[in-house]
Amino acid sequence: MTNLKSLIVAAAAISLPAAAADFTNSFEGVTAGSDLSLAWATAAAAQNDHPLCITAQVIDRGEDGAKANAYKVNVTTSVTGNSFTWTGVPYPLRRVKGGLYQVEVRDCSGAATSSSSPVLAKSPFFGIEEEEEEGATEDGPAPTSSSPSSPKPSSSGPPAINKTALGIGLGVAIGVPSLAALAVVGWCFRKRQKKAAEERRRARRRDFVIY
């Protein structure tokens, strides 16, 4: 944070001539890619017969804010008068998410790119918002026009019968009586076998009787 504060203080402490003025336009709600109409005091421009330079700078505070970098470019070097439309903000300056931007009007006499040229107007630091996606809302993306289609009723008549369920039902209906009948037949068969075995045992006993 110390480096960031020092960088901002140094940028704000650049010596300005007594005639330096502020921009008269607002820097609120600036959106990336939009056009920004810049205007500054007429007196500041009237004092110079030379073309004016408009420079823009951005301070990149980094992810943790411990180290900051500043980038500066000339937006134009041929302004006359006291207004200019900056198209495609922040081009040609790089776009930095969360960066601090500032615009200056300088006297282009001598060296147009020199940071020591007189500053005639300086903006406050401002942010540039990201472009909103087309159709997006605060609550999320706009709903699409398509909606879930409702099931269409079948035109072929009543719903088809589940053959598997029907087969199971018939099997149960037929199988239960069949099992009962088989149980009765088996019981009768076992009883008959038991009776025949008993008769054979009795016959063997009679064969061993001694007269």
Pair 85, 79: CB distance under 8 Å: no
pLDDT at 126 over 60: yes
Pair 10, 72: CB distance under 8 Å: no
φ/ψ region of 163 (left if φ > 0, alpha if ψ in -120 to 50, else beta) reads: alpha
Neighbours of 27 (CB within 10 A): 17
Pair 21, 104: CB distance under 8 Å: no
Pair 117, 109: CB distance under 8 Å: yes
Phi, psi of 173 (to 5 degrees): -65, -40
Q: Where are the domains of the chain?
A: 2-131, 161-211
- Per-residue pLDDT, 190: 82
pTM of the prediction? Answer: 0.52
Q: Of 136, 106, 137, which Cα lies nearest the Cα of 122?
A: 106
- What are 51-75's pLDDT values in tens digits? 889 999 999 987 776 778 999 999 9
* Architecture in CATH of 2-131: Sandwich (2.60)
Percent residues over pLDDT 70 in the chain:
55
- The mean pLDDT value for 88-108 works out to 91
How far apart (Å, rounded) are the C-alpha atoms in residues 209 and 211? 6
- What are 134-190's pLDDT values in tens digits? 655 445 555 555 555 555 555 555 555 565 655 555 555 555 566 677 777 777 788
- What are 99-110's pLDDT values in tens digits? 999 999 988 876
* Range list of β-strands (E), the chain: 21-22, 36-39, 52-60, 69-79, 83-86, 100-107, 119-122, 136-137, 140-141
Q: Residue 149 burial by CB count (10 A; 0-12/13-18/19+): exposed, middle or buried?
A: exposed
